[in-house]
Amino acid sequence: AGRRVYDEQLRVRLDRQMPEAREMGLDAGGWFSFALFKYDDPQGGRFRTLRQWQLRLWGSANIRGVHRFYIRALGAWDDWNSGDNPGDVTEDSWTSPTIERAWYQFDLGQLLRNRTGKAPPVGLKLKVGREFATMGTALVLATPLDMIQFDVSLPNWDLKAIVGMTVHDSRNIADDSQAIYRNNDRCIWGVEVAYTGLDRHRPFAYYLSNEDHTHPDWNDPLQKYDYSSRYVGLGSEGTAFLPNLRYQTELVGEWGRT
């Protein structure tokens, strides 16, 4: 659980450090991070120690704000003390380089703005590739997807639509079984509508569908794993009482099959 909290906090910081939007330009860079974990193992009567080393490299391109490209890769090394790795007798583990983010975005509104010098009444952005996807306050969806995303801006309204697949080797929602822990094949699509006509509040509503196509590995071929679900959400986010006092509220209805 501690590593999940750390990974999520690191993910938020890295996704916020996007290169500045310039009219024309190529950018590249990287991050190196180190973390030390100490696990209390009551059953084994011991502490387990892990040193986690991570290197991320990224590159981006921006053409007049109309065409944007971004890619980020990760390489990691988990360095356990001797005998401390609970899941692998090889002790240490090297994570093969993986693509965390890789997307292209086309901004039709910016294209029209460049040509006419005026902001169009309707804005449209199309993003294709691997990106971190959310719905609402990220209560029911907060994961990287290989997806297509549409963002439409209207007077006082924003519309977002996504359709995509989970990254195959990412952590499964039903991660209680080792047969599917790193086997995640889900088709996810959804639509979100938000009202932007209020100064300090952004009410929203969404529908999200999760269709499970995950199959277990050969170690457990007779067991069927399936968790498909649907969600309807209503909520709001913004500031209350003080300019920097932010709030989020969300009510979700869920149904499905397993």
Residue 45, sorted as left (phi over 0), alpha (psi -120 to 50) or beta, turns out to be left
User: What pLDDT does residue 179 have?
Assistant: 47
Give the distance, in angstroms, between the CA of residue 12 and the centroid of all CA atoms in the same chain: 9
Range with the largest mean pLDDT of 10-19, 48-57, 207-216:
48-57
Best-predicted range by mean pLDDT (9-18, 31-40, 164-173): 31-40
Quick one: DSSP state of residue 223? Answer: -
Residues in the chain: 258
Query: Is 90 exceeded by the pLDDT of residue 231?
Result: yes
| pLDDT higher at 35 or 214 | 35
Q: Helix, strand, or coil here: 225?
A: coil
For the whole model, what pTM was predicted? Answer: 0.82
- Pick the closest to residue 187 from 152, 226, 224, 218 (CA basis): 226
Virtual torsion, Cα 20, 105, 170, 10, nearest 10 deg: 10
Share of the chain above pLDDT 70, in %: 81
Q: What is the pLDDT of residues 159-188, one digit of tens each?
A: 999 999 998 766 656 555 554 455 678 899
For residues 236 and 201, the answer to whether their CB atoms sit within 8 Å is: yes
Angle 183-187-191 (CA atoms, 0-180°, nearest 5)? 140
Lowest pLDDT segment from 101-115, 196-210, 213-227:
213-227
Q: What pLDDT sits at residue 172? A: 59
Band of the pLDDT at 1, cuts 50, 70, 90?
low
The pLDDT score that the predictor gives to residue 46 is 77
User: By CB neighbour count within 10 A (0-12 exposed, 13-18 middle, 19+ buried), where does 12 fall?
Assistant: exposed
Task: State the pLDDT at residue 227.
Answer: 80
Average pLDDT over every residue of 216-222: 59
Q: Cβ(158)–Cβ(150) under 8 Å?
A: no
What does pLDDT average to over the chain?
85
Q: Where do we find the tokens 């996810």?
A: 188
Token readout for 255 is 């149904």
pLDDT at residue 79 tops 80: yes
